[in-house]
Amino acid sequence: MDYQKPLQFRAYEALREMIRDGRFEYDKMYSETRVSKDLGVSRTPMRDAIQRLAQERYIEVIPSKGFRLHRMTEKDLLETYQVRCALEGFCCVQLARDYREPEARRVIRRMESLIGEQEGIAGTTESIEDFTLCDQEFHKKMIDYVANASLTALFDNYLHQISRQIRLSLRQPGRLRQTVDEHKAIVEALKSGSVDRSYLAILAHLEQPRMIIKTLGVMQESTMHQA
């Protein structure tokens, strides 16, 4: 843990990494006291960390019992999709409107370079983990462009759900290359300065993971490595 950071944030980061590393199992109850002891953190900062992770839907708190991993639901899927459409749709429109501005052009060029990285991954290793990291940065660039701290905080609050859903959808044959094509459509629309095309392109792209996961059944995530 980074001892320069506040204790509650260090506890949050440590517990989050344990979850991401797959050190917790679905449907198993974990003791706040035991985890606090394992991490060498007192109960107060651990309680703050657990509340934050519950808000971000990493875990579920069961009063007087402890906590367990949060299993994705249909409600999670729909809410995440709606939040992404609202946030990314708005940010994409702002980027399209400003497409001639130097900062907007810089962001769009970076998005293009990320597409190139994704093409390379799709054509070689087909690593879902590496592809997802590029995917997240691609979308985060649009959010960051608007430079609105409240929007960024809301997006970050859903980042775990977004990451889970991206990984699930990418497991489907051909989805990596399909995602590359959808990203290209978004960038081409942005480069043209067309607000309508850009907005429709981002919405069409965000719809795909939702429909794929809904068809698969969200419970299948229990068979994959935690992210």
**pLDDT tens by residue, 146-176:** 999 999 999 999 999 999 999 999 999 999 9
Is 69:225 a contact under the CB 8 Å cutoff? Answer: no
- Collapsing DSSP to helix, strand or coil, 67 comes out as strand
Write down the pLDDT at residue 224: 46
Q: Which of 4-8, 100-104, 165-169, 189-193 has the lowest mean pLDDT?
A: 4-8
- Residue 217 vs residue 109, higher pLDDT: 109
Per-residue pLDDT reduced to its tens digit, 61-83? 999 899 999 998 889 999 999 99
CATH T-level assignment (fold) for domain 74-221 = Four Helix Bundle (Hemerythrin (Met), subunit A) (1.20.120)
DSSP code at position 218: G
Going from N- to C-terminal start, the domains of the chain cover 7-69, 74-221
Q: Which helix (H) or strand (E) holds 211?
A: helix 195-216
Rounded percentage of the chain residues whose pLDDT exceeds 90: 75
Q: How confident is the model at residue 221 (pLDDT cuts 50, 70, 90)?
A: low
Residue 181 has pLDDT above 90, yes or no: yes
Cβ partners under 8 Å of residue 43, min gap 6: 32, 33, 36
Residue 104 has pLDDT above 70, yes or no: yes
Q: How far apart are CA 106 and CA 127, in angstroms?
A: 27
Task: Specify whether domain 7-69 bears CATH 1.10.3720.10.
Answer: no
Write down the pLDDT at residue 53: 95
> Phi and psi of 33, rounded to 5°?
-65, -45
Q: How far apart are CA 61 and CA 65, in angstroms?
A: 8
Give the CA angle between residues 23, 156, 117 to the nearest 5°. Answer: 80
- Collapsing DSSP to helix, strand or coil, 147 comes out as coil
Mean pLDDT of the chain: 91
Q: How confident is the model at residue 218 (pLDDT cuts 50, 70, 90)?
A: low
